[in-house]
Structure 1
């Protein structure tokens, strides 16, 4: 296809200290962390609400929040606060409770007495709005990052598009929380894409049905039989959870693709909706528990587990995770399993349990750019390591660290690599971020 040349003078609509691109889990952490440390912050998102995985795709609980062997938190800070804001835990109690790893009934059955770090999508939308506004962040929804203008090794301008057309934002510092490393890639930073990506998924909810441990097994058996009969293709799990006790949220759709490819993303949503309805109809036909069931909603968008991964000043590896290698510049802990969803097989997959491990500040720094941080599933990690570090609680923790660091850089005039690690860690621990795994290991 031919190229065209296009020239236009764009208005500069904002000049914040920190521009946060994306308001998913990483973006919320970044925006709040920066604003609470004195920076002026604009946060843009293509959706009409914040929340990322929990609201765009529909998620049920904070994955990676705890070490599953003990149920003790490994990620604190803003994750604690969001659980309190949603009424999941009482104020001040979050650090002291024992939690399940998430809301999936596969896991809840193992420890039914533990607290579920639940994240109802509508509650999370409201809690996200509240925490952003109360922290002094200027959110701008329905706004898509479209391009980056560089000045040497610095991001000078970020072009965004919304109902004003193409407009420009000129920040001092930028945090890429897009999930796909859009800003970093367009800024010319190096990145990797695995040859075999984890599949995309469209989550959905069914109303007027009561989830039980036995019903989970029945749903899995129906899908296994249907696949053997050629009635359905790929799927994962299923991993069901409930928000109300009278509904089921399903993480089960499995669609190969790369979210940075518009055709793949489109296909993931169209095929995902088809598969969701096929599964619903199979369950309704085979299981009496689904007699009054109602297909309530599918996620507003299909979700991606893996796409671009930046090449940062340090790359987290699977060996780092398995050996719990300590890092002098740790800014958040991880403990989620090495949970790599296969793109060509159906059902459940192996998820090796790992001990709490350090995520280095350097994994947030894309090589070759001075005033840009990334946070979330596009941080610097091998594909194997990302299978653990990509999840929600870790993403929010990475974002909070990046936000605090960006605020420090904005006030000092340093670039991302000139930030004092000791001061950054002190500010994070003062905000209840957990940087020492000792408390999570108690009771072993």
Structure 2
């Protein structure tokens, strides 16, 4: 049976590759209103793929004000469990088309990798599900609900409403989320820890209006300098986050640490630039908080004039260690910014739109045992259970909505995939292994 399934998966890959390229060509950037219609086209394309894979019924749904999502069903054989397969079809903005080696929405193969925005995150996840279902010729051995969301890259703001509105249609025994990554192209992983996320906009005011920097400079400060001094208090001299009241942990002793050389290569760190903080790299990436300034509102250099800036704003993003609480962490960040204003500057802190609870899961039980066996067989390598520093807001939502379901977090990316970055790509050999792993997982769940 396993050999037959391997052959069936292999036969699906050329078509899955072609359909993945079709999806990548659609610029489904839901975060950009100019691409709202593209996101709708993307949802319809996914729905058509589900129909072609034998779904008994397919719907394109959305909550009020939300992006289109696809829900499709393959009925369960008698006595078989139902598995929900999740992915998302929306993508990040390109970050500048001119910076890409090849056009971001024209899928291009180079050295065994397929380049394009969404090629890995997460249209590869969509096609992993579709290809695995095709391997069973549209008749999987378990019940399947395919749920492909359209606004994950915007923080899934209407997911709670969608889960409430379609709770019965989405109910399942096992949830497989294909939106994470592997430590390498030939080492499969189950993601067991994710950092959470909160963000704020901080505005610093020093003057009611601009003032001449020559006439008044000296006794009067400017808001941009005050903002820079305030933001500098977010870290201590070693680069550790200096915000009090946040949860700080360490990586488990049995989790292999990442080598510094690999981290520097994966992130393209410049020569001579030091890493922040202390402890293991895995601990710093997953089990400690991280804070970053992602944007500043101030005059552009080309537009600057000789005036003291009266006010300036910054967007501050805080990643939370597993075990922390978003409400407490956002309050801690706000209090830190308010307490460290230099020179009596006025500080206003406004909560941002990004909120994601940290996530931890114990991989105990039959579905996880089946997953470990299936993934090891597909990759010819034991599964690694690891955490990643990113945040996936919807996972906590699924866990709350369906507390009895086992949640398996997998993925079709590797460190070279550059999710959210320039020249995002998918390793095509890993893609085939991921499809086989999922097909073996569905088969194993049916047999169990």
TM-score by length of 1: 0.33
**Alignment TM-score, normalising by the size of structure 2:** 0.33
**Which structure has the bigger radius of gyration?**
2
